[in-house]
Amino acid sequence: MQFGVVIETMRREGYELTLSAPKVLITEDADGVKMEPWETIIVEMPKEFTAGYIDRMGSRNAEIKDMLSAGDACTVICDISSRNFLGMRTWLREATGGQAVIQSQFAGRRPAVPPAPKSRKGMMIAGVNGSATGIDLAKYNKKGTLFVSPGTMMYKGMIIGEFRDQEDTEINVCHNYAKTYEAVGNLPEPRSFYLEQALSYIADDECIEVTPKNIRLRKTFLSGNTRDRIEKANRIAGI
């Protein structure tokens, strides 16, 4: 994303920002049909990654237009809504080890399609302020993927990691243990995010804190009670 390049430049110049999840503008035509922007995507990649890419694009309601082969490379041309293509550039780079070449151009506004399916589970959310301990993190490392390491300063509403099989849950990883308490073994390296990865990862109720030294994920509303009230109100309103 060009926007990601701008923010990364500002970050390196010493600015601090809070970013929400990117959104596209959905409008209505004269007949009341909801319309959204679409793009034509041209991707050149090694052939072994083609099937996985086509399958993933199909799940996002893309329309495959053409597929061309030349030696060990394959070029796939498709149309997809801009909303459903969010995050695919990052996924392609990671899936192909940086071998994919991506081009895109605006293809006009078309009737809106269903959003892409969620590919992530619930978040581990800090329920207290304090310093994360290795003992607590080791316990939750068994339940998912951590984004922080021991000694990281936590605050309420900050995202600690992603659960493997449960919904958003507030947890405490800042207990005070006696110095004689048995130490834990080495934890795996926590998952880190580049800015563009974070922008495509966060949900609508989350945001990114960008500072010269850190990129942190957090809930937009830090209070768990506030988040619960908003979720209840949205359920009643049918949102």
pLDDT of residue 187 exceeding 90, the answer is no
Would you say residue 229 has pLDDT above 80? yes
pTM summary value: 0.78
- Residue 24 confidence (pLDDT): 86
Cα 67 to Cα 47: distance, rounded to the nearest angstrom: 11
- Per-residue pLDDT tens for 127-179? 999 999 998 999 999 999 999 999 999 999 999 999 998 899 999 999 887 66
Nearest to 45 by CA among 12, 8, 76: 76
> pLDDT confidence of 185, banded at 50, 70, 90?
low
CATH of 123-237, one of 1.10.8.420, 3.40.50.10740, 2.40.50.250, 3.40.1190.20: 2.40.50.250
37-112 adopts what CATH topology? Answer: Alpha-Beta Plaits (3.30.70)
Residue 54 pLDDT exceeds 80: yes
121: CB partners within 8 A, 6+ apart:
144, 162, 163, 164, 165, 166, 167
In this chain, the answer to whether the domains covering 37-112 and 123-237 adopt an identical fold is no
User: What pLDDT is recorded for position 107?
Assistant: 93
Q: Give me the residue spans of the domains in the chain.
A: 37-112, 123-237
pLDDT digits (tens, 9 = 90+) for 19-50: 998 888 899 999 999 999 999 999 999 999 99
Of the candidate ranges 51-55, 95-99, 117-121, the one whose mean pLDDT is the lowest? 117-121
Give the pLDDT band of residue 239 (cuts 50, 70, 90).
Answer: low
Cβ contact 39:104 at 8 Å: yes
The count of other CB atoms within 10 Å of the CB of residue 123 is 26
Question: Which of 136, 49, 36, 62 shows the shortest CA–CA distance to 94?
Answer: 49
The predicted pLDDT at position 238 comes to 67
Query: What is the residue-averaged pLDDT of the chain?
Result: 89
| 125-138 residues labelled b (16+ CB within 10 A) or e (exposed) | bbbeebebbbebbb
